[in-house]
Structure 1
Amino acid sequence: MTSLRCPALFLTAPASHQGKTTLTAALARHHRNQGRRVRVFKTGPDFLDPYVLERASGHTVYGLDLWMNGEDDCRARLYKAAAEADLILIEGSMGLFDGTPSSADLAALLGVPLAAVIDAAGMAQSFAAVAHGLASFRPGLAFHGFIANHVASDRHAEMLAQQLPAHPPLLAALRRDEAARLPERHLGLVQAQEIADLDVRLERMAGQIAATALAALPPAVAFPPAAPAEPPKLLAGRRIAIARDAAFAFVYPANLETLLQLGAELSFFSPLTDTALPDCDAVYLPGGYPELHLDTLAANTALKAGLHGHIAAGKPLYAECGGMLYLLDRLTNRAGDSASMLGLLPGQAVLQDRLCGLGLQKMTFPGGALRGHTFHYTRLDTALEPIARAARASGAGTGEALYRSGSLLASYFHAYFPSNPRAAASLFLP
């Protein structure tokens, strides 16, 4: 195996909410419209941005994180993409130097050139100072250029560029366009499948790219050969029923692929619309937005009976975050509306105004340790004692609790199955 070369660009910013996802999606859609095969990756744990990027590029979007995935997993995914694509785009997380590991750490390791998106609203010549700080703070990073976002006029664009040196260049000055803005809610972007005019918005965004330097392919990057080890078929002959709908959509595509590689058969069902649980050996309830569908979930008593029967039969059920909330006796949203849930896990949860859990963590399950993350706005009240607690990647503070009740395991923790396929398999074995 030899290294593969493919044009690649790493989209970053000085902070969150600068427009990275919008810009990455616009780039992906523009180049896809030119007939190019585009592969997009998202840095760090994220369930919402990838679905928008998937719609823009027409291909599954995988996460890259040096701590959660590990370097080998990141390299293997990029090498595979380089064999298939005409362009690789990587969207960073938060600001360029935020977090440990940061987007800068990943870009430096991979040697992918950076393009920094800077929200220029309310800014003029100071744009150059922010750009200079990003480009000079850590020597050795390859900067392809800068992108001014939310620009008000041609005159505004001129002022932004006045103090900016010729290299790295200003690649684009993109106008503010409220009709193309992606809507948000408490966990981030509104889910792609809920935005009825998403393709119209993507095309509007892509339309601005054509007249800029971003319309050309970035430099080619060499991606060294890497391939993941094939996991043993520990789940051969076992069918796993996985909740998947607008209420339960927070699952890494890599998790589903790992289950398939382990030999499992996957069957999907909707707690919002299906009245029967598929014939299965185990159930996986991923995270999502159950708090937005309280009445519908509460009214589906037929599926509730099926899930109770599943647990009564001693079959495994694994639930993450929103999936765990669905197991509780009761769930209350921010407006104070409350509804009965499955009643399989004692307790209740209430949606808060502030973030209650955030960060990379490592959870030791009965079958081994898995890396992952937590991100939630609900507060859980339960008398059940946890059987374990996750360790934070930072080493500071207590991580999320892991609960067991009969044959079910539940936590706010979102696991990344490729970090330990054997441990992932154990979640679905009796």
Structure 2
Amino acid sequence: MSLNQTIDSIYRSHSRGVLATLIRLLGDFDRAEEALHDAFAAAAQQWTEETIPANPYAWLVSAGRFRAIDHIRRRVRFDAAQADIADSLYPEGETMEIAERKEIEDDMLRLVFTCCHPLIPAEAQMAMSLREVCGLTTEEIAHAFLIPAPTVAQRIVRAKNRIRAAGIPYEVPDKMKLPERLAQVLHVIYLVFNEGYSASSGATIVRADLAAEAIRLGRLLLQLLPDPEVSGLLAIMLLQDSRRLARADAAGELVLLSDQDRSLWDHGRIREGLALSAEAMTADGVGTYALQAAIAAEHARAATADDTDWQRIVALYDLLLLANPSPVIELNRAVAVSMCDGPAAALAIVNSLLGEERLARYHLAHAAKADFLRQLERNEEARQSYEMALSLCQQAPEQAFLRKRLAELEDKTRH
């Protein structure tokens, strides 16, 4: 691996954590982001393949903080107050040693809670979390929410301004305030996991670093606040992540759940996830994460694809839709319906969903429709739907899978 590739790998693995620590140390999102980029620029200039630090996280935090102090001190119009700020960022004699954090309130969890502060509008919370916690670009976030990129950028700027103007603290709230903040934090951690489990764009299906970070945050949150919904979310993440090694073949191509080699599944994660799912489902007042975990548990229990209890999965989706009406959940339910009642019943559901603007621009909705049409041997209509899905898809392995389906249809038509 070349030096540039190593630095890119370190960026993917550590940049969000470095940013979170720099926000705590510098007290400002924009200053921390500038320091993060300065730190990686310094790494590219100073590191060699022989001198990559044993603890790149600590090196990058230290380099970023030094450069932030330098920027403050170099300002032409800087007064005593700015000097005090600079001195407070790096008190004389302090050593920059980033030890393993044993306390629960780590910097990434602080970052999530800050992004989810109730003074920040909900849509801005989501945009800012995906930008700061996941490191997605505004264009990637815009694609995920099906809104213009300038709208995303404006939301993020307004959120940062609100944090600055309101003096929102960079902290995990005390236990009395945790329950009222829980729903948004769980949603953000799930967004982080989903981006790791199925990347919205790029050359690979998964971003293992993000999935692992979301699971770690879920564990920390469960220690902070034992709650059935936290257990449910952690169960979902563990059960879905257990399939990671089976989701792509040696060439990196997508492998459908029904075709996966289940011996590659992580059965340790499955056992832990099943226990957490059972705990969440037996609590008073079963929530949406508990229900989603129960669906994931049904897949995990099945020794083969044919052993899957699709009737039970449809019933769980019915409950989930009562608790949380959502077109994406309806789409997932349609796939389960196709396994119970056939593709025609599922196609009727998807056709009704595609009347909604959000789903009309969602590549998986068109891919599902195409698959049902293919099963019904309506090949020309299937081809059109696969092409629509391909035009909307931004992830390379999914694009390759859709092209493969189109090629199969072409072969059928010729023969």
TM-score, normalization by structure 1: 0.24
> Which has a greater percent of helix?
2
Q: Greater strand percent: which structure? A: 1
Q: In terms of Rg, which structure is larger?
A: 2
Given the two structures, how large is their TM-score scaled by the length of structure 2?
0.25
